[in-house]
Amino acid sequence: MKKILTLAALCSLLLAAPAGAQPAPVDLGSDPAHAVAGRDLAADDARVVKARGWLKKIAGSTGESEEQVAASAMKLTRFFFDSIKLRILPAEALEGMAAQAAPGKALSDLTSGYFQARRLSPDNSHVEAMKALAAKQ
């Protein structure tokens, strides 16, 4: 009986491990543009309006939903911190993704393109990354 209980406890630990390793979900609330630009901003703030435009541009070119695009921008900010310990704003990630958006381009190509441009730019600067992306166009 003791062996069965030990085995059951071990199995529950093994089965629970992958669930704990999953990334935390992204909370976008009711407005993805607001979540990316900043929840403390007014709905008609210029930064929210810009974010909404970038979301529409990226969603239109990739075929993904605006919610998926916003979630990818938020996840990209986490990836920057996890991989190179750099804190970036979700709006910066979204702008970098929008700068590369073109019909038929996958969302993953946009996120990796911005990550590479920012990682390779001097001082990991957003401005320099945007210049590098513009030069590629």
How many independent structural domains does the chain possess? Answer: 1
In a domain, residue 53? The reply is: yes
For residue 26, what pLDDT band results from cuts at 50, 70 and 90? low
Q: What is the pLDDT of residue 38?
A: 85
In a domain, residue 15? The reply is: no
Distances (CA, A) of 54 to 4, 30, 48, 84: 56, 17, 10, 25
Encode pLDDT of 11-21 as tens digits. Answer: 443 444 444 44
- Return d(Cα 2, Cα 89) in angstroms, integer: 52
In a domain, residue 12? The reply is: no
Mean pLDDT within 89-109? 93
Q: Is the dihedral of CA 33, 37, 40, 41 positive or negative?
A: negative
The boundaries of the domain holding residue 58 are 23-136
In this prediction, what percent of the chain has a pLDDT beyond 90? 58
In a domain, residue 84? The reply is: yes
In a domain, residue 54? The reply is: yes
Residue 72 pLDDT > 80: yes
